[in-house]
Amino acid sequence: MTPRSLTPLLLASVLLAACNGVATKGPVAIDVPLAPTKGNTATGQVRFTEIDGGVIVEARLGGLAPGGHGFHIHEKGDCSAPDATSAGGHFNPTGMPHGQPGKPEHHAGDLPMLVADAAGNAKLSTTVDGLSLTSKGNGNIVGRAVIVHAAPDDFTTQPTGNSGARVACGVIASN
């Protein structure tokens, strides 16, 4: 080979090496399957995607009673109890009262209401500020549980919003 014929080969090698050093990962996302608690039929999936300053929450569920359902992140990533009480209370690292997301006072784990249609299916897509999947701060939700409740959240009753029994639970675990 002549030096002139090595030039394209050398250039291609340098470009390939440079491309291997470029980060190609997209946003961090965690898919959480939800399983029914004892005596319930609610199942589905929640996807948490980290964005700058918060997390996008996308939920799809079935097997719910028609109407509103409280929807929260709970403090412990443990769904082992038949009624999911092992997940503890709402995730609340700042000690705020329970309230509606987007209002100044609410638990970090307070999420918007899930509303099931007549067939028992619910979808939700929302952005929650202050939560994280990667930071070491007090907004990190990895290792916690996401819970769907039987009743609507009134966003005022302390500390739970009077949302009733836990009908589905899933653990937010890193992939």
Q: What is the pLDDT of residue 164?
A: 96
CATH topology for 29-172 is: Immunoglobulin-like (2.60.40)
Which of 40, 42, 67 lies closest to 151, judged by CA? 67
pLDDT at 8 over 80: no
Q: What is the pLDDT of residue 9?
A: 46
Bridge partners for 62 per DSSP? 43
Which of 72, 71, 78 lies closest to 173, judged by CA? 78
The pLDDT tens digits of the residues spanning 102-140 come to 888 999 999 999 999 999 999 999 999 999 999 888 899
Q: What is the pLDDT of residue 136?
A: 86
The pLDDT tens digits of the residues spanning 17-60 come to 444 444 445 679 999 999 999 999 999 999 999 999 899 999 99
Bridge partners for 45 per DSSP? 33, 60
Q: What is the pLDDT of residue 142?
A: 96
pLDDT at 171 over 50: yes
Q: What is the pLDDT of residue 4?
A: 52
